[in-house]
Amino acid sequence: MYQTSPQLDKNNRLRHLLTIDGLTREHIVEILDKAEGFFIPKSGQIIQTDTLQGKTIANLFFEPSTRTRSTFQLAAQNLSASVLNLNISHSSTSKGESLRDTVLNLQAMQCQLFVIRHGSSGAAHFVAQQVNPFVAVINAGDGCHAHPTQALLDMFTIRKHRGDFQKLRVAIVGDILHSRVARSQIHALQLMRAGEIRAIGPKTLLPAHLEQLGVKVFHDLSQGLQGVDVIMMLRLQTERMQKGLLPKGNSYYRLYGLTSETLAMANPNALIIHPGPVNRGVEIQSDIADSPNAVILDQVTNGIAIRMAVMSLLMENRLS
């Protein structure tokens, strides 16, 4: 099990980014503002800088990824860093090399920043405890625990499209139990002082104690969506699910799918976000995923700037 977060230094600055839990609102706003500065106004293009020239970033993805891995790579390239994408299935992991030894060998190759995705909760914390003081670690998703850069890009996207969080009623819909994204989103929404946070899903897919985090729980999608301004959809994380947690057949879509009918319960123009990958016809009606209020692809673009912001901030903090 992971231990107390070592992600802040003695001056309360980010040393690593492992979880949203334990950060302050100021940490989040600093990252969002820094990310905003990477966009060229009006054109929406992301700038390229030489901020991380001479630095090497290692992408260690022990689980599949399209968005996170690619946008970390693009972000590192935009900052002029060298990127080492370790192909885990062709690495010495398959010969029994431990995670610790893999990381120490890459550190010996002078990698200064590790981006790690792993199926085990706490893997990024573990790596952060192994590296030397000049090396930083970013959690790109660990088990069911946390996916902090996803939550940050979600906050960036909501702030860009809807502004003041205090005025927003936000619903997170679906498989919250297995979702590292949802855990990070809840912490981030609380820090951004969202007006109301709702969790909607079947009893089998919602963790206990959500109410203790100040989250309103709904098991009926239409009721839960009434009057919401932002809908955060989640994928069913079947790869982490025990048997028997899902309703039979396609009744999950009938009960919890975002369809024209259920969307009509939310405020007009409710913003729809989804971390991806989207399973059309499973958690969301296909044409809703492509509708103007669904900003799913904008989230992906924003992910590049957020990851640039986190990587450059960690490297700045390391050097100062």
Nearest-approach distance from CB 177 to ligand CP, in angstroms:
17
> How many other CB atoms sit within 10 Å of the CB of residue 251?
12
Choose, by CB under 6 A, the member of 45, 49, 66, 238 that binds ligand CP. Answer: 66
Token reading at 118: 């792993």
Nearer to ligand CP, 127 or 273 (CB): 273
Please tell me whether residue 68 binds ligand CP under the rule CB under 6 A. Answer: yes
Nearer to ligand CP, 67 or 162 (CB): 67
For residues 159 and 194, the answer to whether their CB atoms sit within 8 Å is no
**Binding marks (x or -) toward ligand CP, 150..169, rule CB under 6 A?**
x-------------------
Token reading at 167: 């005025």
Token reading at 155: 């906050």
Choose, by CB under 6 A, the member of 136, 141, 187, 202 that binds ligand CP. Answer: 141
For residues 254 and 236, the answer to whether their CB atoms sit within 8 Å is no
Please tell me whether residue 238 binds ligand CP under the rule CB under 6 A. Answer: no
Give the whole-angstrom CA distance, residue 168 versus residue 160.
13
Cα dihedral 229, 72, 104, 12 sign = negative
Residues 260-299 that bind ligand CP (CB under 6 A): 275-277
Nearest-approach distance from CB 232 to ligand CP, in angstroms:
12
Nearest-approach distance from CB 61 to ligand CP, in angstroms:
8
The region of 25-33, 65-73, 127-135, 252-260 touching ligand CP under the rule CB under 6 A is 65-73
Nearer to ligand CP, 153 or 169 (CB): 153
Token reading at 26: 């100021």
Please tell me whether residue 237 binds ligand CP under the rule CB under 6 A. Answer: no
Nearer to ligand CP, 13 or 67 (CB): 67
Nearest-approach distance from CB 160 to ligand CP, in angstroms:
18
Nearer to ligand CP, 274 or 318 (CB): 274
Please tell me whether residue 65 binds ligand CP under the rule CB under 6 A. Answer: yes
Number of residues located near ligand CP, criterion CB under 6 A? 10
Instruction: Give 104: exposed, middle or buried? Use CB within 10 Å, 0-12, 13-18, 19+.
Output: middle
- List, as one string, the DSSP characters of 290-315: TSTTB-HHHHHHHHHHHHHHHHHHHH
Token reading at 235: 């994928």
Nearer to ligand CP, 55 or 147 (CB): 147
Nearer to ligand CP, 69 or 118 (CB): 69
Please tell me whether residue 67 binds ligand CP under the rule CB under 6 A. Answer: yes
**Of 308, 253, 251, 300, nearest to 273 (Cα)?**
300
Nearest-approach distance from CB 157 to ligand CP, in angstroms:
12
CA distances from residue 173 to 73, 168, 228 in whole angstroms, order as listed? 29, 16, 12
Nearer to ligand CP, 202 or 276 (CB): 276
Nearest-approach distance from CB 277 to ligand CP, in angstroms:
6
What residue type is assigned to position 293 of the chain?
N
CA distances from residue 193 to 174, 175, 209 in whole angstroms, order as listed? 22, 23, 19
Give the whole-angstrom CA distance, residue 184 versus residue 147.
6
Residues 103-122 that bind ligand CP (CB under 6 A): none
Q: Calculate the CA 164 to chain-centre distance.
A: 21
In the complex, which residues of this chain contact ligand CP (CB under 6 A)?
A: 65-69, 141, 150, 275-277
